[in-house]
């Protein structure tokens, strides 16, 4: 039994199983620029426009910029490891596929199950943020969605109305619409995404350029607040300021970088994966890191920590523009619309990544066949798309955004750690394999990726460690109850 748990899937078999085989193959339609667009589409979104405010309020204050640098550094090291894997194993499935080739079936299952936190729960997180900004947009025309119909049952109106949330209907609606778009096809989705990416990047640059002149130096003093404790409105206590504040904020804003690895899940749909995958992954990561540091510096300089702890916590970007940037009310409206479109592109890529991971797991027999059934016309895993719509709708409709956001961050960090270890293992075990991209100084880069990502996991705190542990226990029950028995590697 132990041997079967850690049996690895050969690279040759991975390539053979992932070939374009008639009705079951995925179409290769994406070039390097489409992949960069896909990455930026996933990266710039809820992390920047929502989680930044939470990191400023709860953990780091103005030193949120340092948190972005730490998170970006960890992603850069892990991104190099992802790029080598993606150029060597251009198969749908991301870290799950890579783990199967290096560390065996049990670890591959753990990673595949863990990636549900990154993609499906991540999509739910962004859908909740989309709902927040939809209300901001509706306020501009004198309308709004009642509090109880756009918040979870665990949330109480901070305005003092006494209202509890019931269900987040706008979040569920946007998940439904984007799932329907994905079922139509990857190429069509990428075209829509590229248009959104252009608008989204333009808005980020515009906010940086205009907001720079409205920064208040007092909001950046002290740049790293002294260590203390802060309890938010949900009763959760955070380490604020100091090194732990920066590390905790890095774990929070790490959500803003989730997405560059989603490019690797589309490897089987890339025209020239050995060349295009490293360009897509590293290119999108580099562009976004620069924009993030500048944007967070402006946001924390225009608004105060107290702003982001109170009225500015939801719809933070529109809030600070409206309150502090006199004469730019039009920009608040424009930003809100662009953010809605931007969030849509993030959800699109998250849902794409999730269905492709389970597509690979289903082909291996670890999850039911329905997850790899391809639409006869559109050649997309349509059943998987609709099953995950139901799953993400439950999270988006009934769980608060802060909880699902941190679950996504810690799950993704765990995946990054295992991928970085996997690159090192494969260099030792299979040095002869052709690699379209090679990580320089593998022992050093892989080790740094593990260290930095582990530091961010540490910063997220005990509650998030427990959530991750419970999630993994549920996954192991499913593996030993279903997946091991039905695995193609074992049944053969």
Distance (Å, rounded) from C-alpha 105 to C-alpha 417? 17
The pLDDT of residue 480 is above 70: yes
Summary mean pLDDT of the chain: 83
Q: What pTM was estimated for this model as a whole?
A: 0.79
Q: Which of 213-227, 244-258, 392-406, 438-452 has the highest mean pLDDT?
A: 213-227
Which position has the higher pLDDT, 257 or 266? 257
Lowest-confidence region among 93-97, 238-242, 324-328, 431-435: 93-97
CB within 8 Å of 230: residues ≥ 6 apart: 57, 58, 59, 237, 238, 240, 309
Total residue length of the chain: 492
Distance (Å, rounded) from C-alpha 303 to C-alpha 280? 34
Q: What is the pLDDT of residue 249?
A: 92
154-211 pLDDT, tens digit each:
877 766 677 888 899 999 999 999 998 888 765 555 676 667 777 778 888 999 999 9
Distance (Å, rounded) from C-alpha 371 to C-alpha 351? 13
List the beta bridge partners of residue 239: 229
The answer to whether the beta carbons of residues 301 and 213 sit under 8 Å apart is no
**Closest of 193, 238, 155, 217 to residue 45, by C-alpha:** 193
The pLDDT of residue 21 is above 50: no
271-323 pLDDT, tens digit each:
777 677 778 877 888 888 889 999 999 999 999 999 988 888 878 888 899 89
- Phi, psi (deg, nearest 5) at residue 282: -75, -35
Tokens of 146: 């009642």
Q: What is the pLDDT of residue 90?
A: 57
Lowest-confidence region among 124-138, 314-328, 374-388: 374-388
Q: What is the pLDDT of residue 448?
A: 94
The pLDDT of residue 246 is above 90: yes
Q: What is the pLDDT of residue 392?
A: 93
Distance (Å, rounded) from C-alpha 395 to C-alpha 382? 20
The pLDDT of residue 330 is above 70: yes
Q: The tokens 């997850």 sit on which residue?
A: 371
The pLDDT of residue 214 is above 90: yes
The pLDDT of residue 374 is above 90: no
Architecture of domain 24-491: Up-down Bundle (1.20)
H helix and E strand count, the chain = 21, 2
The pLDDT of residue 411 is above 80: yes
Distance (Å, rounded) from C-alpha 318 to C-alpha 25? 44
Of all residues in the chain, the percent with pLDDT exceeding 70 is 86
Average pLDDT over residues 71-76: 88
Which position has the higher pLDDT, 414 or 267? 414
């Amino acid at each position: 039994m132990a041997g079967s748990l850690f049996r690895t899937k050969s690279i040759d078999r991975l390539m053979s199983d992932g070939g374009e085989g008639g009705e079951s193959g995925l179409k290769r339609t994406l070039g390097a620029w489409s992949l960069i667009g896909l990455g930026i589409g996933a990266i710039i979104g809820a992390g920047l426009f929502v989680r930044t405010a939470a990191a400023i309020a709860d953990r780091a204050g103005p030193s949120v910029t340092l948190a972005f640098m730490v998170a970006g550094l960890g992603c850069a090291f892990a991104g190099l490891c992802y790029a080598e894997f993606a150029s060597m194993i251009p198969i749908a499935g991301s870290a799950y596929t890579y783990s199967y080739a290096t560390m065996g079936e049990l670890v591959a299952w753990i990673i595949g199950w863990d990636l549900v936190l990154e993609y499906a729960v991540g999509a739910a997180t962004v859908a909740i943020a989309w709902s927040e900004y939809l209300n901001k947009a509706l306020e501009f025309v004198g309308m709004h969605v009642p509090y109880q119909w756009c918040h979870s049952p665990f949330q109480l109106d901070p305005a003092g109305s006494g209202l509890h949330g019931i269900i987040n209907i706008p979040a569920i609606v946007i998940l439904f619409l984007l799932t329907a778009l994905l079922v139509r096809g990857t190429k069509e989705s990428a075209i829509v995404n590229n248009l959104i990416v252009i608008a989204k990047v333009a808005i980020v640059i515009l906010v940086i350029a205009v907001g720079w002149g409205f920064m208040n130096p007092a909001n950046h003093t002290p740049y790293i607040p002294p260590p203390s404790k802060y309890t938010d409105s949900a009763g959760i206590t955070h380490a604020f300021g100091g090194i732990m504040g920066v590390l905790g904020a890095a774990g929070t804003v790490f959500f803003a970088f989730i997405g560059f690895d989603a490019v690797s899940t589309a490897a089987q749909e890339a025209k020239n994966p050995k060349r295009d995958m490293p360009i897509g992954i590293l290119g999108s990561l580099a562009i976004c890191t620069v924009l993030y540091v500048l944007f967070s510096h402006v946001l924390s300089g225009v608004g105060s920590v107290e702003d982001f702890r109170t009225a500015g916590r939801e719809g933070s970007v529109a809030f600070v523009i409206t309150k502090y940037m006199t004469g730019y009310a039009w920009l608040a409206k424009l930003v809100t619309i662009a953010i809605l479109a931007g969030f849509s592109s993030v959800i699109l890529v998250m849902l794409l990544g999730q269905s492709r991971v389970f597509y690979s797991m289903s082909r291996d027999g670890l999850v039911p066949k329905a997850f790899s059934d391809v639409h006869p016309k559109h050649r997309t895993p349509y059943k998987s798309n609709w099953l995950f719509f139901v799953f993400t709708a439950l999270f988006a409709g009934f769980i608060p955004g802060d909880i699902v956001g941190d679950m996504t961050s810690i799950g993704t960090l765990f995946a990054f750690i295992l991928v970085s270890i996997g690159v090192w293992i494969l260099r030792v075990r299979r040095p002869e394999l052709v690699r379209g991209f090679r990580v320089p100084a593998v022992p050093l880069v892989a080790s740094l990726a593990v260290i930095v990502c582990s530091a961010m996991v540490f910063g997220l705190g005990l509650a998030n460690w427990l959530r991750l542990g419970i999630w993994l226990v549920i996954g192991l029950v499913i593996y030993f109850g279903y997946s091991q028995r039905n695995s193609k590697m074992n049944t053969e």
